[in-house]
Structure formats: C-alpha cells, structure tokens
Structure 1
C-alpha cells in the first residue's frame, strides 16, 4: 500500500525531535503554576534587578491576590479584570491571581491614556482594575468621567518598588527613577502591599480549558480596539508549543523584554516558562546595555524579541564585552528581520534568527520557521496542530503556489470571536474544506516547500509611476548600508511620479554629521531598481515605536501626508 503524502510539504523540514502534533492538557493555565510550584518549589521563577522570586512564592502571592479579588473586590467567575502596567513581577502575580479567581485577564497597553483607558472599562464591562501607581491617577480620571453605572468599583495599585530589592548586587543595572519613584494613590485605591499582607484565601478553583481566560485587545485598522476572546485551551496551545519548538525546558533561562501585555511577550516571557519551569530574567523596558549584561551574567538561553531590538543590540559599542555563548534560541516577529542583520548574527555568533507570525487573535504564532532551517523575511511554516491556506480574497478559492492571496488559519490557538461584536466575529471566519478558518487580513504566499511569506501590509504600498514599491523590501536593502542603523520607508508626493519613495533614517554613531542624504540616495541608486530607490532621505535621531517596539510607520506616513498637504499650492 502506498504511503500517503503529507498534506503540506513543510513536514519534511519539521524541527528534528519535535512531534508534528501536541496533546493539550485538560486543565487551566493556573494549574501550570501549581505544578511548577510543586516540581520546582525553590527554583527562581523570576529574576528582577537582583530580586529572585521562587515558584513557591509566586504561587503563594498569586493565591493571596486571588483571595483579595474574590473577598474584597467581589470578583466572580468570568468577570473581566483590567491589568495595566509595565513589565514587573507584579504583572505576573496579578495575571495568575486573576486566573486563580476564575476570572478573565484584560491586558492593557501601559502607553494608553485617559480616553483610551475608558474604552477598556466600558467595553470589557470591568469593575476591577490592577495597575501601577504611575498610571493610577490617569485610570482614576478616566473612571470618574464615566457614568456611575459603568465605572470601576475597585482599583488595586502597586508601586514598582514593591518588587525591588533593598540593595543592588550589580549597581550598574540598578533601575531608573521611573521605577523607584513613589507615586500618590487615588483616594479609595487599595495598595498592593496591603492586599498581599491580608493573606486572604480564595475559594475553589473551578475554571476549565474551555472557560474564558484572557482577552487581549487588537486595534485593527479602523474604529476602537476589539477584545479577542481566548480560553485557557487557546492560550495553552502556544504556551506549550512555543517551548517545544524552541527547545525550552526547566533548565532554560529566558530573557523577558517584550511587553507582557502583548501576546508574544505574554506567551514567551511568562506563560511558556511557567508551564515548563524555566527561569525568567525580566527587563521592564528595553535597554541594550543592560540586556547584554543580563545575557552574560545569567547565561540566558532563549531570547524572543523583535528585529528592532536586535538591530539596536548589535549597534552597542560594548558588544564585544558581552558573552552570548549561552544563547541557543533567538527569534521573534512583528516585522521582517533585515537580511544583513540576520547574516551578521549567524556569522558573528552562529545564531539563526527564527522568525514567526501570529496575531492577538491567535495568541502568538500560527507560523514559525524551523530552528535548523529558517528562511529570512519569512513567516515560517504552520506550527503544531495548525493548518493555513492562501485564498483569493474575492473568490475565496485557494490560489496556486507562490501566488499572493489572503492567509487563513485554523488551529487550537485561534480565538473564539470578538467580545460583544457578533458582526465582526462573523466576518473574521470562513468555512473552508469542512473546517472553520480565521481570515487574517494579511496578504502572502506559500512556496514549494510550504514556507509562508507575507506581502507587506497592503496599505503601505507606494505607487511610483505605476510601479508597486513594497516598503519592507526597500528597508531590508537599506540595512545593508554600513552607516544605516534603522530605516523606515514611506511615500511622499512627487510632481512627476505622483508618489515617490522617502527613507527616514537613523544613522549609526560613527556616521552622524558625516554621511549625507545624497550619499545614501546614491548608494541606494546603485543597489536597487530604479523605480524603488529612495529619492528623498531624512535623518532623525530615533524612529517612533509602539509599546511593543514596532516602528510606527503609519505615524511617519501621516506626518508626511500632512506636510505635503500644507506645501501643496492652492488651486
């Protein structure tokens, strides 16, 4: 009998020693912490500025906070609780306390301000929020501006210093003033230390795999952010799968620098390590020098990041002093890794950069590159238990290999729908080959080996005299210039071409004040097709970035559009 061929060609390139499918436990995320607290009771779960929190202590503190949520804040099963702070141990404690209370974590970007925070209160119908003291007064203001029936009833507030040690073993890595400053608390707010000291005991934990667990918000392209409904099961899939794919276990040490409110940071910097028993070394904000010293000091084995972090890291004047020999895995997503940067990682440190792809709706990856056989500027292959297709977004028929279409995905990590938005939920899914697939809205293609590639965001396309210019491609080429530290490509008005290519560039330290825009343009002209090389170059000290570290190209584009409109002659 003939052996049937695999459904997708990528199985022949699957990571060695990794199963093609994983079996998920029929338990809650909270149970992962319980198991690790028993298995590795006195092992450090979190290292934070010299302060080590063991798995036993992490479970105990999360349990005490769950008791406060239930007994003092009246949190019931399925209630949504807002979690609003930067990376710190309190984020992890609060996250698992909410799960222990059978409630739903609603992570909020700490960059959000009053008007934005109001939407989270009202849309999630939350009555309780846990936040850091630097954000508490803004949260209180947002709350007071709402009608009484829509307001939060309880605010639990932590000072970042609540988790800091009394002294620092390595003073050079001591936190900045933003972490040590004591901020005033709104009237009626409960201090974190008081809630913890009460040592209240929560009721029985009853949440199961199909109960709601986490509701991250996704901004999309229009309107207010939408809540993505995730169950313990959908979060569990990538919490387990990510560790298997990257070879992480209890012996691993993870550098957690991506924001924990974001799904990638949440899974690779918190949920995955808690499941496997790995130690998390946490950095509240990106700092390449501190990161380099932490990798060296704690022999970090796994570092999930975004390409902009790696680009900045490799630009450190102290790079040669860092010991990166312990790193076994480095990868991430959010944007394509420039080929020149990836090649330097490989040549200088022997590390393959493993790119992946996912969304808030899929609780991190649906695709990832095989660790031993990655491709650059590539989403990778569908991960465990996951199928993906490329369809014509109009006819909804599957397209041929290497043809561009909309990427659709089906797997255990896919969300259940948008909170309170049945129409948006209906539009997000499609029935295909007898299964339900999520429509990502991203355009891409699949090659002969089953690897997926994304065609840049459709709205980023620059139309220069009828030629389509994809900014990501031009950015990747610019990174090969020896003087370019970072670059973002946008469109600008051109009297002849209608629209032309503009590069917003951050120069490397040695080139500042020496390299000219004309020299960059001339180099690009020699290294790129005539229709795509930048006709305009603007130097800036830094590119605007989001809370997750992604370059905010849209902000640069909107600023350029406004500038062009002002300079346009009157009719």
Structure 2
C-alpha cells in the first residue's frame, strides 16, 4: 500500500490504535461505574440509565446460564428490531460468555432454519410480533425462545409517533421452552464470572454470497473492539455526544457506530426502530442530537420532506454512513442545509464495519475514504494479485485488526476468500475499485454478484435458491435493476415449466416471494422468458442479462 493518503491523515489522529485487552462486556461495567445515573438510551422518551442497563443485562446472563444451560462459546440468536431489548440481549449474551448471532428481523422461517442448523443455537431472543416465524423451530434445534414485547419499555408518556408493532401490549405467549422477557427479568438470576477474553469469539453476523446459503463471520472481542474504538476516535465522539440510532443493529454498521461505540464512550443514544423522517427530526430537536449514521436513501427521504425547512437540525455536527454511495447532488444539498459534509466509509460484514473512512476535514464525494488505523489496503489484479498503479481498476483487498477469523464451519469459503501477500493475510472483498493520486479509494464495480437495495445487500444466488422452491419455476436468474428510490432493486428473469406457462402471472411470483423470503430480497420485477443464456459448458451467463438490463435503462 502506498502512503499517499497520509498527507491527508487527520492531524489529531495517531496512525496506530492501541486496543484494550478486555471483553466487549467490560465496556458496560466501565460506563455503568463512570456514569451510573446518566441515560444510556432513550426510547420514545423513556430513558434507561447505564446502571439500570447493567442490572438488566446481568439478569439476562443469569437466566441464560442457569435456565438455558448456556456455556462459554455457545451461539445465541438475536432476532429483533432496534429496541432496548436488542441491546440488553446482545450484552446479556456476551455476559454469559456466549456468542451473539444477530439475525435480520425480515427473515422468515425457511431462512431462520439455516441459522439454527448452522450455528447449533439452542436459544433465541424474539419479539412477540415475529414469534410465529421462530416457533416452528422449537424442538428442531431450538430449546428455548425468550419472547419480548417492545411496549414493556414504553413507561413514560410520549407525543412521538409510536409504530403499532412497538406499542402493542404484551401478549400471554406460552408453551414448552417459551418464556416471556418480563418473566425472565423477574427471576433476578445472576451469572457466574466473566471467562472470555479479547481473543474469544464475540459476534457472528451472517453474510450471503455467490454460493447461496448465508455464512457466519467469526469476530473476536478484540476485533469488534477495534472498530468500536476506531469509529469513536476518527469522528471525535465522546461521553457527551448524543447519537440518533436508526440504522439496524443486526447490521455491523449500525451495531458498531450507533450501539457499541456510544456504550464504550458513555454517550447517550436516542433509539428509533425504523426510519421515520418526522420522528427523527423531532428527536434531533428534542435531545440535541449531534451525530447520526444514515444511509443515502434516508438522507434522500429527509431532504425530500415538505417540512425540511421547518426542522430544527442545528445541533447536528456529524452525519456519516456507507452501504451505498451518496449521490453528489444529495450530498451537496445536505451540506447547503446543515453546513456539514456527509462522511462516507467502507466496510463489510467480514470486517465488522469500516476499513476505510473519509477524513472529516477533507472528505471526497462518492468516495470510500482512506484506510484507517493499522489497515493495509491495496487494489490488485484479480488474477496475479499484483498491486495496480494509481487510477487502474482492480479488486480491493484488506488486512487489518478488524478482519474476521474466517467463516464458521466453512473452510472451502475461507480458502477462496483470503490470500497471503508478503506474509500478510488479506481479505478479498470482491469489490472492484481504484486509488486516486491522493490515496483515496473509489468503488467502480463488483467482482461478485450482489445487489445493493437501499443499503441492503442482496445476493442473487441466495434468492435463486429460494425461488427454485416455487413449483412453477424451471429456471431463474436474479439480477439488479436500477431504481430511482432504492438505487437498485431485485429483478428475476424466470423460465416457467411448460405446464404452468400462461397460467402463472408475474404478480403470482412476486406474491409468493413475499410469503417465503425477507421483503428486501423479494424480486420487485419479474420477466418471463423461454430460456436463459448459457455458455457452451451450460454455465448461466448472468452478466449477459445484467448488461442487457443496464442498457435498457
């Protein structure tokens, strides 16, 4: 890696990041000791202090150990929207010396089954509105489900617009292996000692890819701690920061920047389960929010509001994000409105969030940024793995403290994902990019098949695998279609079986998909054809269909 970017390195920042030799849970103890009566999180005007948070976390850990038999290294599923319970369960799992497996709450039973089977998890935390999707897996791997009512944490009056699934009163869900969150807390069980350290497994988020089923990314406590600390330092967050937390916690960007980071610093987070521009604006005004992470579609929606000129956003000093490039016109409009730039970064589930971030004093638009502390990043030829000169497009590869150990129980995937260069183990990102003359990285294309729909990464092979379960589908190829609102959306080119031609409509396929897979993965566009293009060896030529779709637009 060249050192061109060092000319633009933030003057207040060291080049090296010294990491704490502790578990991630230790951050709870530190902040609860330092700031016991300070609100850690605010949920529709209901606060939870750091001391109260620590107490509830320990009750969860005690229940996991004493009632569920959880021991060091066990994996526990966390299947929830952003909520107090998500954060409490996350740290309760860690306090029980176990491993958090965050699961997208848009996933349905057929998708959840893979998480249970692959991780060997016997316990899951589930909200009552999604319980029906997890319940069929009880007795089929799962032994315990803890069912939470989000409304349990609405203890103070609010004039904010509370979504129905949050406001819904606690239901008396019962059955073998099922316990209500409230009953778990009432037991007031306490855990044994913390036995995990920096090198033990901490979090295992799943990512999909070119081969279908999602893969677990193994991250240690120290690897997670790296991006907790790097994000705080790079963006100058501290104990008196107030953060709007609206990016999903099941995804590493929101998990690190809007949850784990503020906890480490002793900051306060104002929590929203889903993006709502009017509620977000009111929370910013009410609690003097000074920092938030947003993806580009959220910024577009915020600026499109007819009330945008009436919002009081004057407390904001930082807006950062990633997942998809921010359109230049939108970034400029945001800067004109607030007088602050949008700070873009780049990372992956495999790197537990950022490997690159723009320097706050000198950001570039639609740019991934520069490699942060202790990260070695290169753009290489995809065949020879030799580093390419400035301006030439190749694959981005990264080496750093935050890179995962590897994929859970998947040595074949590890073999193709890592490459050794000059004695260093580099992660192949599958993203094609270039480095400019200043050492800033830019994304240009993808080596892997992936669709970026409103910041959600959709892997065509996974969607195709599920679509083949439809009785009428003979062949299918999933590609990206440009979308004004989502950036990209999912399109499926389908060959119907002979007996179903003329009987099945495009909307029938769309409706079936919504019943069988997470909404963000569902094809929004269906195109029927007689056959799919293939090579002489019978390999599906997906890029031919993709190029045709791009040219059509």
Normalising by structure 1, we get a TM-score of 0.80
1:230 is paired with a residue whose SS is: strand
Which of 190, 214, 238 aligns to 2:227? It is 238
Question: Residues 460 and 471 of structure 1 are in contact (CA less than 8 Å); yes or no, is this contact kept in structure 2?
Answer: no
Asked if 1:392 corresponds to 2:360, the answer is: no
RMSD, aligned α-carbons = 2.5
Give the corresponding residue for 1:38.
33
Task: Work out whether residues 49 and 165 of structure 1, in 8 Å CA contact, stay in contact via their aligned partners in 2.
Answer: no
What secondary structure, in the 3-state scheme, does the structure 2 residue paired with 1:456 have? Answer: strand
Aligned to 1:308: 297
Match of 1:10 among 5, 11, 24: 5
In structure 1, the gaps of 5 or more residues are: 1-5, 463-469, 473-500, 508-545, 567-571
- The residue number in structure 2 matching 1:517 is none
Contact 2:31/2:263 (8 A) holds in 1: yes
Q: Can you list the C-alpha shifts for 1:475-495, whole angstroms capped at 9, x where unaligned?
A: xxxxxxxxxxxxxxxxxxxxx
> Offset of 1:154 from its aligned partner?
1.0
Change (3 A) 1:437 1:200: same
Q: Which residue of 2 aligns with 1:194?
A: 183
Alignment of 1:289 with 2:278, yes or no, is yes
Q: 1:377 to 1:555 in 2, by over 3 A?
A: farther
Q: CA deviation at 1:184?
A: 5.0
Q: Does residue 220 of structure 1 match 2:209?
A: yes
In 1, the alpha carbon distance for the partners of 2:528 and 2:325 equals 28
8 Å Cα contact 1:83/1:131 also seen in 2: yes
Partner of 1:532: none
Shift of residue 280, structure 1, vs aligned partner: 0.5
1:403 aligns with 2:392: yes
Shift of 1:167: 2.3
Aligned equivalents of 2:133 and 2:352: distance in 1?
Answer: 28
- Which residues in structure 2 correspond to 1:439-478 (within 5 Å)? 439-458=428-447
3-state SS of paired residue (2:523): helix
From 238, 242, 264, the counterpart of 1:249? 238
Aligned residues: 476
Distance 1:185 1:433 in 2: 57
Give the distance between the partners of 2:520 and 2:49, measured in 1 at CA. 37
C-alpha separation in 2, matches of 1:228 and 1:502: 28
CA deviations on 1:19-76 (whole Å, 9 max, x unpaired) are 1111000000000110000011111100001110000111110011100000011000
Q: Write the mapping of 1:323-362 to structure 2, written as runs, cut at 5 A.
A: 323-362=312-351
Instruction: Work out which of the residue numbers 548, 555, 562 in structure 1 matches 2:523.
Output: 555
Task: Evaluate the alpha carbon distance shift between residue 196 and residue 277 of structure 1 in structure 2; reply closer, same or farther with a 3 A threshold.
Answer: same
Shift of 1:174: 3.6
Tell whether the 8 Å contact from 2:106 to 2:519 is kept in structure 1 after alignment: no
8 A Cα contact 1:47 1:279, kept in partner: yes
- 3-state DSSP class of the match of 2:427? strand
- Among 344, 368, 384, the residue aligned to 2:357: 368
Q: 1:221 to 1:555 in 2, by over 3 A?
A: farther
Whole-angstrom distance in 2 between the partners of 1:88 and 1:80: 21
Cα distance in 1 between the residues matched to 2:378 and 2:424: 12
- Measured after TM superposition, the shift of residue 139 of structure 1 is 0.3
Counterpart position of 1:114: 109
Calculate the TM-score normalised by the size of structure 2. Answer: 0.82
Structure 2 unmatched runs, 5+: 455-479, 487-513, 533-553
